Amino acid sequence: MLAFISCSKDESNNNILPAISLKTGGIYVSSDTAIAEGLQITIGIKAFANNGENLTNLLIISNDSIRLFDYGFNAISIDKDVLINKNSDSIQHLAIIIRNSKGLSSTLNIKLTKNGSAYKSVIYFPEITLGAQNNIAFGSFASLANAQVYVLNNAYQNQQLIDLLYYYNSIDFNALGSPGANVTGIYSGSNAPEYWTVKNTTYFSRNIINVPVASFDYAINDSLIIANTFVNGGRKAKSLATNQIWAFQTQSGKFGLIKVIQVDGQESGSVKIAVKMQQ
């Protein structure tokens, strides 16, 4: 008696695969190569929708498991240079995949063979204590160039040096950020970061990494940092808790890892962190 009306997804029937190619010559690696572990190579990628659906995803997967690069976009073509660090495997297979909005994909493969090691030692700051916005004992701002901690007025005078700041609010809880993270209404007065003229931005990520505290403690070169570089970081490290490990990248492009040693209190509280970062 009842004629129920059904429906279907509104998708076109365009089944054309996207086209992909690698740039050759100069700095580019476009075929099977032997290189030292930890060494950085450049892969130049060109892809076209090829009269099919728009391209929406470019990714590079190492040994069928680790996503070294995963980029979402929406265009008919893309021209992208991607930096990859050779891992410690004797042979590393890279799959370079371009996908369109319909999920159709094309893939190119490159084999990297290990040839020696190029890892470097790290800069290590075993303990940096930052105070939240109402803490009168510790400053809220830090430079990762020298692990120097600044109170608000001094930080204002040294804007170009500040990479980290720490605060608490009821939305982000205990959080690390940077002057470029749009942290507003937290620090009072005309010297608050929203009024700065130089705002360094540090990006953070904890999603893609799962670094045990012991691995952080024993890391003596930048292999652990390189293994946990990221491309889609956030500008804040929120809800900090003891023994969390966060990956970060500074405004100058250097990657590193932060270990949260201790978090106390709220607006008047403090956080104690350890930092290992690339030289």
Partner 1 sequence: MNKKILIIFIFTFFTNILNAQDTILKNIFLKDVIILSTRTNSKLENIPASIDVIAKEEIENYPSTNIDNLLQSVSNVYVNRSWGIFSKNSSVTMRGMDGTNRVLVLYNGIPLNKTSGGGINWYMIQPETVEKIEVLKGSNSALYGNNAMSGIINIISEIPKEKFKGNFKLLYGGYQTFGSSIHLSGNQVRNNRGWYWYANGFWRKGDGYIMVPKETRDSNDSKLGINEFSSDAQLGYQFNEKTKLTVNYNFYTDNRSDGIKIYEKEGGFQKSFSNLGMLNFSTIMHNGILFNAKAFYHYDYFWQHTEKLNETGDTYKMYDTDQYSNDMGLWLNVTRNLGKINKLTLGADFKHGNMDAEDIYRTSTDNVKRKGNISFAAAFLQDEIAIGNKWNIVAALRYDYAGFNSGSIVVDNPSYNTGFLRSFAEDYPSNHWMSLSPKISAKYNFSNKVDMYISASKGFMPATLDDMCSSRKITKGFKEANPQLKPEYVFTYEIGNTYKPTSKLMFESSIYFSEGKDFQYFVATGEIVDNTSIVLKRENIGKVNIAGFEISAKYQWFKNTLLKCNYTYNHSEIVEFNALNETGVNLKGKHIAEIPAHQVFIGLFNRNKWINSSIIFNYVGEQWVDEQNSATISDHFTIDLRLYREWNKRFTVSLDLQNLLDDEFIDKKGGLSPGRYFELEIGVKF
Judged by the rule CB under 8 A, the positions of this chain that interact with partner 1 are 1-7, 9-10, 54, 56-57, 59, 67, 70, 72-75, 99, 101, 103, 169-173, 182, 201, 204-208, 230-236, 238-239, 241, 266
Closer Cβ to partner 1, 219 or 231, answer by number:
231
CB of 266 to partner 1, least distance (A): 8
CB of 116 to partner 1, least distance (A): 31
Closer Cβ to partner 1, 172 or 222, answer by number:
172
Closer Cβ to partner 1, 40 or 239, answer by number:
239
Q: Which amino acid is at 73?
A: F
**Token duo for residue 123:** 């800069």
Conformation bin of residue 44: beta by default, left when phi > 0, alpha when psi is -120 to 50 = beta
**Token duo for residue 236:** 């804040």
Closer Cβ to partner 1, 176 or 225, answer by number:
176
* 195: Cβ contacts below 8 Å, ≥ 6 apart: none
Query: From CA 142, how far away is CA 180, in angstroms rounded?
Result: 14
Q: How many CA atoms lie within 13 A of 229 on its CB side?
A: 21
CB of 3 to partner 1, least distance (A): 8
CA torsion angle for 71, 22, 38, 73 (degrees, to 10)?
-10
Closer Cβ to partner 1, 117 or 266, answer by number:
266
Closer Cβ to partner 1, 118 or 213, answer by number:
213
Q: Determine whether 65 is exposed, middle or buried from the number of CB atoms within 10 Å of its CB (0-12, 13-18, 19+).
A: exposed
CB of 82 to partner 1, least distance (A): 15
CB of 24 to partner 1, least distance (A): 28
CB of 146 to partner 1, least distance (A): 27
Can you name the residues that pair with 147 across neighbouring β-strands? none
Terminus-to-terminus CA distance in the chain, angstroms?
75
